[in-house]
Amino acid sequence: MRDLIIEKMYEWSKKPYQKFFKKNEPWNITPKELILLPNDSLGFHMGCFLLKYNFEMQPKLEDHDVIHVLTNTGVSVIEEIGMQYYLLGNGKKSAYLFMVIFVGTLFYPNRLKTFYNYYKRGQNAHQFYHLAFDKMLYKSLREIQFIFNIR
């Protein structure tokens, strides 16, 4: 039930967040085009991620999916909350991030240790959340993870 509530909150908040808070241009590429990139590239792995979960690219929210790929984070509600903790540890601060962390912590106090582990992983990585990922799609996923100490 908690998962369903959080998923509904995401669906309700996604469109206003895209419209009013995200100023970047949407990427002009599809998952099927991404998987045509070199097999070791960030773009290829992002395309595989999107196809694996049958996701559509969300305009202006593409970076979110890249973070999933870079950090090897799944898509369960707990993992989504954990990824926000990871980003907080990596230095990101936004109203949306704090909202997810607040609600996630409130709904899942028994997962604080898990969330703390995500936070520590984010702290241990070099700051990367702000990069222009659309310019890095041809770069090697492993190389990016190595350079930024993303685990």
Q: What is the DSSP string of 81-115?
A: HHHHHHHHHTT---HHHHHHHHHHHHH-GGGHHHH
Is the per-residue pLDDT at 100 higher than 80? yes
Question: What's the confidence (pLDDT) of residue 51?
Answer: 96
Say whether pLDDT at 22 is over 80. Answer: no
Give whole-number Cα distances, 5 to 10, 77, 104, 139, in Å: 9, 10, 11, 37
Domain segments of the chain as ranges:
31-148
* Residue 41, beta-bridge partner list: 140
The reported pLDDT for the residue numbered 79 is 97
* Structure confidence by residue, pLDDT tens digits, 129-143: 999 999 999 999 999
pLDDT digits (tens, 9 = 90+) for 28-81: 999 999 999 999 999 999 999 999 999 999 888 999 999 999 999 999 999 999
pLDDT of residue 7: 78
> According to the model, what pLDDT value does residue 10 have?
74
pLDDT value for 9? 75
